[in-house]
Amino acid sequence: MSRRNKRVKRIRTIRKHKPKTGKSKASKKRCALSKSVLHGTTHGKRIARVRKLSKTQKRPTGIFGGILNSKERKHVIEEAIKVKLGIKTMDGVSLKERNFVEQALQQLEKKK
């Protein structure tokens, strides 16, 4: 017999503890490239509470904030600058990073 259930008169089972339903906590956010834990993002609170927070409270506001960690972000921006200056072609960029490099190039174009 499990710890949770108790037999009564061999007819029905009575539950001692009510099982948890729908109150799970938000998991830690991870980097899209390296899968390391992201700092500055919300976690550990109830999912419903995290959903109610504003966008700026959920993640950092910098480029690729809440998506990439600082090491990967720096690498992607360096690759984008190399492509823009003609040192490297888009074919030379790894497939995993290519989408982020294209987004970084668009961001660089917007700032000008």
Per-position pLDDT tens, the chain of length 112 = 555 666 555 666 666 677 666 678 888 999 999 999 999 888 888 888 888 989 888 888 889 999 999 999 999 999 999 999 999 999 999 999 999 999 999 998 887 7
Domain count, the chain: 1
Residue at 19 is within a domain? no
Position 93 in a domain: yes
Q: Residue 24: its pLDDT value, please?
A: 80
Q: What is the largest CA-CA distance in the chain?
A: 82
Q: For residue 6, what pLDDT is reported?
A: 61
- Determine phi and psi for 8, rounding to 5 degrees: -125, 115
User: Residue 68: inside a domain, yes or no?
Assistant: yes
**Could you list the residue range(s) of the whole structural domain that residue 37 is in?**
24-111
What's the pLDDT score for residue 8?
A: 55
pLDDT at 103: 95
In a domain? residue 10 = no
